[in-house]
Structure 1
Amino acid sequence: MGNALRFLYKNCSQPTTTESQSLGPHGVSAQNVGVSALAHDILHFEVTSQVPEGLSKHVVSSKKAQSNWYKKLLQAWKQAKPPPRTPEETARLVIETLKRHQKADVEGLLAFYGLPLPHTLVELSTGAPSTLPNGVKYELHTLPVDVKAVADGDTITVYVSTTDPRESSSVPKEVQLAAIQRSKARAERNYPKADALHKKITDQNYRVINIQNEEILAKKYRIRLRGIDAPESAMPYGKQAKEELANLVQGKCEVMLKKGLAWHYTAYDRRTELANWEKEARAKRVGLWASKNPEEPWEWRKDQREGR
């Protein structure tokens, strides 16, 4: 995952009055949900062949023509490597995919999702430097992380909304359909059927999560922090390591080394800065280094396997 993990919470806040001129279909600013709303509607179209309600107020073409747009957008979205992540990238994909259609319709579709209009887009520059820290390949834009999802000092479970551009093109069709059917079952108060459908979803490593009264289909990720090995929960300092990681879900995993709550895991990562941070923690005798001879987690796990 690189030398840092950055967990970003989904912004679900309501817009201020000054944002009211650039609202997407969900009543929040395009910066927050424009890309996600389009990704959601494309996936929904793949399952139901239905275009979103309210779109006809923004465009002049028929529902049949709108269905044709979403077929093309679905194909273009799946072929994009990687899928668009920003409002600007998404607007360019829409414009390129629907360039043979009426200008008014293309602009109406963009306005419906609060995406940038063609005349507001600047020319793409080449060779632009990456905004990610050195060694980081990608970010996971997760939903809010539950403290219960922290297994120990070096492992955490997170969920990423399937409307995220990185996820939207890879959701299994049976999961999409189960999520839609589950929502209908709950609306009909058929809770046994809804529970059975949710199990079908979780068996595929997905989950429906309720955030601020909105149900979100999300992909589950179990993340093992690179380069460190923290004490297991049953070991001395295991509880402290787990609590520290829970407090650092937006921080870097190497902080655990600085606080003396993990070993440098040289079997998987030999970066010198990690070795130096462990050395400094040892010298200061902080955390687990307050003990004279703390047991290494890998040796402890070996003993457990061998029944010692």
Structure 2
Amino acid sequence: MIKIADGDTMTVLSENQQIRVRLHGIDCPEKKQDFGTKAKLFSSQLAFGKTVTVQVLNKDRYGRAIGLVILPDGKILNRELLKAGLAWHYRKFDKSADFATLELYAKRSRVGIWSMKNAIAPWEFRKSKDSRRLILQRK
């Protein structure tokens, strides 16, 4: 792992080629959201500078690989972020019971984002930022 952009986006080096990876099935808080920096730090602590395996499941509209990042100890970074309460289960793109259960566990344990009274999902945060940008452009 050579670069961590945020909690759920990173760059790996494979055969001297940089590959941008978006973690499948989860959505971490944005950098300017509560817990955004913590999610990035968590991913960095587990993966940065380490040899990881990426199980690529798809590509997104930006050309990023969508996948599971398997850490040197065999744990899956996507799952670890959910367990730590540092990501939402992105049900729009993943229907797994496993990820839903991990999110529910974190909610019930009130860890990470779930310790907040009114946590805003990143997809809602991005919509609100986009709508504000459009309003400013119209003026």
2:35 pairs with 1:237: yes
For residues 38 and 84 of structure 2, what CA distance do their matches in structure 1 show?
A: 10
Listed as ranges, the gaps of 5+ residues in structure 1 are: 1-144, 162-217
Residues 1:267 and 2:112 aligned together: no
* Counterpart Cα distance in 1 of 2:22 and 2:46: 14
Which 4+ stretches in 1 moved above 6 angstroms?
none
Q: Is 1:246 the counterpart of 2:44 in the alignment?
A: yes
Mapped partners of 1:239, 1:273: distance in 2:
25
CA distance in 1, matches of 2:11, 2:131: 28
Quick check: 1:159 aligned with 2:13? yes
The separation in 1 between residues aligned to 2:103 and 2:112, in whole angstroms, is 11
Deviation at 1:232, TM superposition (A): 0.6
Counting helix residues as a fraction of each chain, which structure ranks higher? 1
User: Which one of the candidate residues 284, 295, 301 is aligned to 2:109?
Assistant: 284
1:256 aligns with 2:78: no
Aligned residues: 106
Offset of residue 248 of structure 1: 2.0
Q: How far apart are 1:238 and its partner, in Å?
A: 0.3
d(CA) in 2 for partners of 1:256, 1:307: 29
CA distance in 2, matches of 1:273, 1:292: 25
Partner of 1:115: none
| Identity between Structure 1 and Structure 2 (%) | 41
Higher normalized contact order (CA 8 Å, seq sep 6+, divided by chain length): 2
- What is the RMSD computed on CA atoms of the aligned residues? 1.1
Q: Aligned-pair distance for 1:158?
A: 1.0
Instruction: State the secondary structure of the residue aligned to 2:101.
Output: helix
Following TM superposition, by how much is the alpha carbon of 1:307 offset from its aligned partner in structure 2, in angstroms? 1.2
- Opposite residue 301 of structure 1, the aligned amino acid is R
| Residue 159 of structure 1, CA deviation | 1.2
2:25 corresponds, among 227, 242, 245, to 227
- Which secondary structure does the structure 1 equivalent of 2:13 belong to? strand
How far apart in 2 are the matches of 1:274 and 1:290?
19
2:41 counterpart letter in structure 1: E
Q: TM-score, normalised by structure 1?
A: 0.34
* Equivalences for residues 201-216 of structure 1 within 5 A: none
* Unaligned runs of at least 5 residues, structure 2: 48-70, 134-139
Amino acid at match of 2:12: V
1:12-62 residue CA offsets vs partner (Å, 9 max, x unmatched)? xxxxxxxxxxxxxxxxxxxxxxxxxxxxxxxxxxxxxxxxxxxxxxxxxxx
Which has the larger share of strand? Answer: 2
